[in-house]
Structures are given as C-alpha cells and as structure tokens.
C-alpha cells in the first residue's frame, strides 16, 4: 500500500467517524422540521377557526342590532300614539297593548341575543389566544431548527444543545394550547 492510499484511508475513516457523530444532529433537524410543519398547520387551522367564529359573532351582533332597531321603532310608535288624539279609543288601546307586548318580548329577546353575541366573541378571543400560542411555537421551533443546523457548519455541539433548548420551549408553547379553555 502506498503512503498516499494510507493517508486517504485514514482521512476517510476520520470523515466517517465525524459523520457518525453528526447523525443525531441530522435526525434532530428532521424531527424539528416535522414539528414545524405540524405546528404551522395547527396554527393556520386555528387562525381560520378564529376568522369563522368572528364572522358568526358579527352576524349575531347584527341580528341583535336589527332587533334593537325594531324595539326602538316600536317604542317611538308607542310614544307617538300616547300624544296623538285618536278618534277610536278602543283601536288605540288595542294598538298600544300590541306595542307593549312586542316591546316586552323584544326586551327579553335582546338580552338573549346580546348574551349569544358576547359568547361568540369570547369564542373568537379563545381561538386567537390558541393561534398566538401556535405562532410562538412555530417561531421557536424554526429558531431551534436553524440553530441546530449551525452545528453541521461549525461542528460545535453547543449549537445543537441550544437548538434543542429553543425547540423544547416551542413544544411547550404548542402543548400549552391544551391548557387553554
């Protein structure tokens, strides 16, 4: 065997040994890439849920507002009838009672509709809070992935550990969504 071949074999052996020490880093990067993808999808779905819930809440507030306008119109008509002289007192009393009945029903309905709208708005806020957690998790996992990849360039394991640290915090942020209502 020539001296050149021996040196090449030695370099090859060192290269293979060095590659073996970087396999855990490459595996970690693969796992982090999958976690980033999953967290991104969950975040996007949660943002979509928040938008759809916001549309429902807006519809509910519009429904409440329409009934509130009808209630005010009825109250104005009732007030007008109380100051206008009407020849048929029986018909006037019947109309006034009808307006009073409608007003009582709408007052009850308005409270229910307002409660429904506020509940929908709370649902929107909860979805936005979950989406924010997923966004934070995605950012931390991406940072962890990038820092971990620096290990391949520098051959320094400190970056691998630092990347794992960011990733663990990112995973904790994603899992914290389960603790939210």
Residue in 50, 179, 176, 63 with CA at minimum distance from that of residue 123:
50
Check residue 84 and report its DSSP letter. S
Place of tokens 């021996």: 6
Exposed e or buried b for every residue in 129-140, given b needs 16+ CB within 10 A?
ebbbbbbbbbbb
Distance CA 40, CA 131 (A): 10
Distance CA 135, CA 139 (A): 6
Q: Which tens digits make up the pLDDT trace of 61-116?
A: 988 888 888 878 777 777 777 666 677 667 767 777 777 777 777 778 888 888 99
Report the predicted TM-score, pTM, of the whole model to 2 decimal places.
Answer: 0.72
| pLDDT value of residue 168 | 97
Average predicted confidence (pLDDT) for the chain: 84
Looking at residues 149-173, what average pLDDT do you find?
93
User: Are the C-beta atoms of residues 169 and 38 closer than 8 Å to each other?
Assistant: no
User: Are the C-beta atoms of residues 174 and 133 closer than 8 Å to each other?
Assistant: yes
């Amino acid at each position: 065997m020539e001296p050149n071949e021996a040196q090449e074999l030695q370099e090859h052996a060192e290269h293979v040994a060095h590659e073996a020490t970087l396999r855990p880093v490459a595996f970690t990067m693969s796992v982090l890439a999958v976690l980033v993808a999953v967290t991104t999808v969950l975040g996007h779905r949660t943002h979509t849920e928040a938008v759809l819930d916001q549309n429902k809440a807006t519809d509910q507030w519009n429904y409440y507002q329409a009934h509130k306008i009808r209630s005010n119109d009825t109250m104005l008509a009732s007030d007008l009838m109380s100051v206008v002289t009407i020849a048929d007192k029986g018909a006037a009393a019947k109309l006034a009672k009808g307006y009073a009945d409608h007003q009582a029903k709408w007052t009850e309905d308005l409270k229910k509709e307002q409660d429904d709208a506020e509940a929908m708005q709370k649902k929107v806020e909860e979805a936005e809070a979950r989406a924010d957690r997923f966004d934070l998790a995605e950012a931390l996992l991406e940072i962890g992935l990038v820092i971990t990849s620096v290990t391949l360039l520098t051959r320094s394991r400190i970056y691998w550990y630092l990347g794992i640290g960011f990733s663990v915090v990112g995973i904790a942020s994603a899992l914290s969504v389960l603790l939210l209502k």
